[in-house]
Amino acid sequence: MVFCGSCGKKATSEEKFCTNCGSELKEITVEVTKEVGDIIKEEYRSQVVSDNLESESLQHDEEDSLIKQTTRDLGNKLEEMVEKIFQNQGYETRTRQKLQGSSGSYNEIDVLATRKSVKLAVECKNYSEERKVGIKELRDFIAKLEDLDIHRGLFVTSSYFSEEARNWAENNPNEKRVELWDKEDLTHQIMTITLGRDAKSAMLSKTIKIENALPIEGSINDYTILHLKNQDKITIKRRDVAYLPIYIISFNLHEEFRAPDKQMYSHHNEGSYYMDGVSGRFLYKRDNFEEKEYDLSDEEKQVINDIQDFEPRMVEVTEENNTRIVKLQPSIDRKNIEFQVRNRVAKDNKRTITFEVKVARDQTEERQYPHMPQHSSIQCQTRIVYVPRLEIEFESKEYVYEKVVMLASGVVIDDEISVCKHLLGKKTTFAVCDICGVAKCDKDITLGNKDDCYCKKHLPQELKDLNKENSLSGKLKRFRFGKK
């Protein structure tokens, strides 16, 4: 996101001057939100220079020291913001903890969040957008979790993750549950707090009405039902229904212009752009010539599908036990959005006119004239649709599992508790371990005499011995070849 250094108004990365105060927008691209981005490198540099230096120029060693201070301060701000997110979810948190692991070495954890028996370690990396978090950083973080015997981790970055890093996090050999938050995920989490949950108005009345919203498929309770052997061992820690604001900006482009060949040309196109009202990201466009998705996640793709499949209307939502309902407010005003759309329409509808010019009596030359539509030829109409999204958090002793459902269609985007991952695929979970709470399939869970459930790590010795006797190798050992 970009903010004006003079008045603080949000701007787009394409704008060179602030539309509010007219100030020039220089290098003021900051971290994902105002809370993280209040410390801007240029402003911080100016402040330290004015406090510590009277000369007009900086020495190289002083500049290097200043940059290190700025980077460290931005990193601390990122950690503090992540800490606020988990405090809002009921966790007790500590930052920058040095813990001794089983190896005897000390491991630094940026944010340590605990709630009852649940322990979560968070790694924060304040990188520029150009620098992605790679597989090395993920391996080092998972090694920390293994040394500290922490089962759940979260890696947060102000940039993005490489594909190799994402694959390693999902399929790491240590079987640690590592969640990844990139810049977009972090923005969504922060906006949920600043525009929804933290406000007193976030907890809405028992029955609320929301205009221009998609209806909910079924009941919220339907999505919390688990088909596990010992589902009584699992508790629902929270259920959040967030109505996500999605802008639909319809445009109509109609213009006539004269090219250098003195001929008149006309250009017409119409369609719609879809924008996330929280992050300000363009998600999808459709016009007379093409249909385009802008590098969407599975959740964003389902948002677009839901909007196209269901007609928005006034909906009534009733709060159920242990459920919070939040209607997120857009972080961008319509005037700013329509300005961005006109810019994008103009760029997407650039044309090149090819014409011939006579350069000699019997000789012509082909020339090209690039043309971009003017803003005045683009008309926009904007409406907003609220798309319901359900996030459930299940707690099972040391483990926490999340489930995400797009409520308009009932499509499950993520379901951690129902899937047991294996090297050759995935299986449906059967039960949770009575000792640690890990959810596993029937291959990895053993039942005791009283239907008690154990994972391989916490299997009692008598059951291990019994399994060995019943195994094929055990039966072969008991088999004896007799003489006739």
pLDDT per position as a tens digit, 304-360: 999 999 999 999 887 766 788 888 888 888 899 999 999 999 999 999 999 888 888
| The pLDDT value given to residue 207 | 76
Asked if pLDDT for residue 276 goes beyond 70, the answer is yes
Cβ-Cβ contacts under 8 Å for 128 (sequence gap 6 or more): 158, 159
How far is residue 133's CA from residue 129's CA, in Å, rounded to a whole number? Answer: 10
How far is residue 248's CA from residue 253's CA, in Å, rounded to a whole number? Answer: 16
Asked if pLDDT for residue 113 goes beyond 50, the answer is yes
DSSP H or E stretch at residue 292: strand 291-293
Q: Phi then psi for 388, rounded to 5 degrees?
A: -80, 135
Report in angstroms the alpha-carbon separations of 171 from 44, 138, 265, 396, 421. 41, 11, 56, 21, 8
pLDDT-derived band of residue 198, with 50, 70 and 90 as boundaries? very low
How far is residue 117's CA from residue 151's CA, in Å, rounded to a whole number? Answer: 11
| The pLDDT value given to residue 251 | 97
Residues 305, 316 contacting (CB under 8 angstroms): no
How far is residue 302's CA from residue 405's CA, in Å, rounded to a whole number? Answer: 10
Torsion of Cα atoms, 225 then 198 then 333 then 75, to 10°: -100
Taking residues 230-241, report their average pLDDT: 88
pLDDT-derived band of residue 77, with 50, 70 and 90 as boundaries? confident
Tokens (6 digits) for 34: 């105002």
Q: Return the residue matching tokens 């752009």.
A: 273
Dmax over Cα atoms in the chain, in whole Å? 116
* DSSP class of 161: B
Of 137-151, 173-187, 298-312, 450-464, the range with the lowest mean pLDDT is 173-187
How far is residue 376's CA from residue 42's CA, in Å, rounded to a whole number? Answer: 36
Asked if pLDDT for residue 424 goes beyond 80, the answer is no
How far is residue 413's CA from residue 410's CA, in Å, rounded to a whole number? Answer: 9
Q: Which of 345, 351, 328, 408 is nearest to 381 (CA)?
A: 345
| The pLDDT value given to residue 18 | 65
**What are the pLDDT digits (tens) for 145-165?**
999 988 889 999 989 999 899
Parallel/antiparallel/unpaired status of strands 351-360 and 323-327: unpaired
Tokens (6 digits) for 104: 């005897």
pLDDT-derived band of residue 288, with 50, 70 and 90 as boundaries? very high
pLDDT-derived band of residue 50, with 50, 70 and 90 as boundaries? very low
The model's pTM is: 0.68
| Amino acid letter, residue 88 | N
**What domains, with CATH codes, occur in the chain?**
1-30 (no CATH), 33-202 (3.40.1350.10), 209-419 (no CATH), 431-476 (no CATH)
Angle between helices 163-170 and 135-148 (to 10 degrees): 20
Angle (nearest 5°) at CA 44 between 38 and 46: 135
Asked if pLDDT for residue 23 goes beyond 80, the answer is no
pLDDT-derived band of residue 220, with 50, 70 and 90 as boundaries? confident
| The pLDDT value given to residue 63 | 41
How far is residue 359's CA from residue 311's CA, in Å, rounded to a whole number? Answer: 59
Q: Phi then psi for 167, rounded to 5 degrees?
A: -65, -40
How far is residue 385's CA from residue 305's CA, in Å, rounded to a whole number? Answer: 13
| The pLDDT value given to residue 295 | 86
DSSP H or E stretch at residue 308: helix 298-309
Asked if pLDDT for residue 1 goes beyond 70, the answer is no
Tokens (6 digits) for 374: 């003017």
Residue 224: helix, strand or coil by DSSP? Answer: helix
DSSP H or E stretch at residue 96: strand 92-100
Mean residue pLDDT of the chain comes to: 80
| The pLDDT value given to residue 65 | 45
**What are the pLDDT digits (tens) for 236-260?**
888 889 999 999 999 999 999 998 8
Of 23-27, 212-216, 229-233, the range with the lowest mean pLDDT is 23-27
Cβ-Cβ contacts under 8 Å for 414 (sequence gap 6 or more): 402, 403, 404
Residue 248: helix, strand or coil by DSSP? Answer: strand
